[in-house]
Amino acid sequence: MTATLIPATLAFREDGTPFSPRFGDVYHSPSGAFAQSDFVFLKGNGLPERWQKRRIFTVLETGFGMGVNFLTTWAAWRDDPARCERLHFVSVEKHPFARDDLRTALDAIVAHAPNADLATLARELVQAWPMLVPGTHRLEFDGGRVTLTLVFGDAVEALPKLWLRADAIYLDGFAPAKNPELWSPAIFKALARVAGEDATFATWSSAGDVKRALEQNGFEFRKTPGFGDKWAMLTGRFAPRWRVRRYEPPLPMPLGERHAVVIGAGLAGSALVERLAARGWRVTLLERHPAPACEASGNPAGVFHPLISRDDSTASRITRAGFLYALRRWNALDALGHAPKRTHAGLLHLATDDESRAVAGALASFCYPNEFVHGVDRGEAGRIAGVELTQGGWFYPHGGAIDPASLCRAQIAAASAFSGAQVEARYGVQVGRIARAGESWQVFDDAGALIAQAGAVIFANAHDAARAAALDFAPTRSVRGQLSLIDRSPLAALRVPVIGDGYAVPLDGDVTLVGATYEVDDTNLDLRAPGHLENLERVALMLPELSQATEPSTGWRGRVALRCVTSDRMPMIGQLGDEQAARRDAQRLSGAWPQDLPRTPGLFGAFAFGSRGLVWASLGAELIASQLEGEPWPIERELAEQIDPARFLQRALRQRSL
């Protein structure tokens, strides 16, 4: 179970230096926060020179604190005409500040900043500051060219779960005597696992234990004059004299041209097009229908919200990360003038069974901020909803409903509008098969004609993905979902979507969307009267006014769509396994971990999203784009392994069923 996140307490010493009562130490030198950051961490790592003329440069920091090192690094990157194309800054923080406290602290610090732009950057950081919930948060600045990946949690637990290749390491925790865990051998072992061959490090500390831990994990160091009242500091590089890790950290996929074919223009495919185009990729989008979002993504509305479980399960953690990242991407679409149609008043989840009642009762123990979720009794829930409800539950202030088709169109439009974008969307094209041709993949239509060729192909075509990718170990099933549209609805006063044993979503024109049926292995797309009655009866148990709905003379309106799900109900996101190679080497791979599995070069999947495509699609697209580019992953590696498309191949190898 994820540990409760405890925010930092803001305090100041008499001289105005920010101070941590928890650790009894200052956040920066009294001689100046930004001056210390530049002297110790930038110059100590040879920056900005080392990132110049590079495409991607990644900084890894232990202890985000008030973000001074990030702001200093960001400002230096902006001021450097020879800067790298994309700067990644990854930082772990066990006790992050609440937004208002961060604003107060940074206002005091930037008042003495040497660079006037730092005040502007500090305001942008505060505005983008995430909700204080555990896990990985991906923030983007300067049009996505600067990415801050914040990990809220204990570094001892979090660092081993990250997957990235660090070019520079900032060791900036509180003093080893005050916070020994952040300088423990486990930390340095985790840093050695992700350090690039030419990685450097810098720290203001020169303690003996720090030097010994560095040496024991393959780092060379030298002692140099320190900043302010510090006599000495340490700088150095990763130069192991022996093998220190089993797996090499990620590198970009070797491609002659950054060109990808994306198959499918639903939620998964349109998100992929946007994330790849934002990185300057050429993208060819192939869709068998005449327009995007014609299948499950074409429903009139879908709900989006996190998933709360008593044990903060893997599904809850992945869904939380996806929900928060999706909100950021949608806000970015809004700012670019491509706003999808969605609600902004929140979403109610009613406690309709024993499990959800237990979650509602235990919700306070998670200590989530109210802006993320909070419990509501029946009366308060009814006031939020504007209609009578049969029970309470919990409220997501940032949850809601969205028109999926408008989201797909917005993402494709935004992708095409990026500077230098090369996006070709081809509709009415049915993919038949793919074939390897040298270092590329050829894509053929169902008549056998060559329609596209690229170094990377991403299957985002739901039910058809396993067939087109020739996957045997992709146990997907179709689930029929019929929704109903209630005209002149008794729930016309409903203000927010309500979910539980079904869902009700207010639409324009006093229409209520209710649903949906869940019929496994049923692929019939005809509307059925029993399905409408089932929807109404189930939702009326939560919203009793719906029982007053009467069938119109013309019959119920609705829509049927097929969800694609796996046997474990988790999506398939990432690089595909090489099943033929796994069969040839099945005996050796019988105990394989995900990183041991052979992979098919250039083939990726983003499908089987079930009912959670709205909260998984953007995160899944960012994960695949990061894998292609060799960038830090947007979620912990252990979570990525739970949605790895090769996980069923791994299980078959372990069960010796190949």
The CATH code of the domain that includes 221 is 3.40.50.150
| DSSP H or E stretch at residue 624 | helix 613-629
Residue 202, phi then psi, degrees to nearest 5: -150, 145
How many domains does the chain divide into? 3
Per-chain mean pLDDT for the chain: 94
Strands 166-171 and 219-225, by their bridges, are: unpaired
State the pLDDT confidence band at 471, using cuts at 50, 70 and 90.
very high
562 plus 572 within the same structural domain: no
Alpha helix locations (H) across 288-429? 314-335, 354-362, 378-385, 404-417
What pLDDT does residue 23 have?
A: 87
What are the residues facing 423 on neighbouring strands?
283
365 plus 431 within the same structural domain: no
| DSSP H or E stretch at residue 512 | strand 511-515
Q: What is the DSSP letter of 368?
A: -
Distance set, CA 277 to CA 254, 347, 413, 423 (Å): 18, 32, 11, 7
- CATH number of the domain encompassing residue 378: 3.30.9.10
CA distance from start to end of the chain: 34
64-115: pLDDT as tens digits: 999 999 999 999 999 999 999 999 999 999 999 999 999 999 998 988 887 8
212 plus 281 within the same structural domain: no
Domain ranges, residue 579: 259-295+405-472+568-654
Strands 502-507 and 511-515, by their bridges, are: antiparallel
465 plus 572 within the same structural domain: yes
State the pLDDT confidence band at 16, using cuts at 50, 70 and 90.
confident
The arrangement of strands across the sheet holding 431-437 comes to 431-437, 440-445, 450-454
Whether residue 21 is predicted with pLDDT greater than 80 in this model: the reply is yes
137 plus 36 within the same structural domain: yes
What are the residues facing 441 on neighbouring strands?
436, 454
What pLDDT does residue 357 have?
A: 86
547 plus 413 within the same structural domain: no
- Please name which of 309, 337, 224, 298 lies closest in space to residue 562, comparing C-alpha atoms: 298
389 plus 495 within the same structural domain: yes
Residue 590, phi then psi, degrees to nearest 5: -65, -25
Work out the number of other CB atoms within 10 angstroms of the CB of residue 221.
18
Q: How many CA within 13 A on the CB side of residue 46?
A: 14
What token pair was written down for 438? 């040298």
616-641: pLDDT as tens digits: 999 999 999 999 999 999 999 999 99
Q: Report yes or no on whether pTM surpasses 0.75.
A: yes
629 plus 559 within the same structural domain: no
Q: Is 570 left (phi over 0), alpha (psi -120 to 50) or beta?
A: beta
DSSP output for 316-330: HHHHHHHHHHHHHHH
Contact 118, 106 (CB under 8 A): no
Residue type, 620: G
Instruction: Decide if 312 is inside a domain.
Output: no
What token pair was written down for 154? 């204990």
Encode burial over 118-141: b for 16+ CB neighbours within 10 A, e otherwise. beebbeebbebbbbbbbbbbbbbb
Sign of CA dihedral 600, 601, 603, 605: positive
Whether residue 467 is predicted with pLDDT greater than 80 in this model: the reply is yes
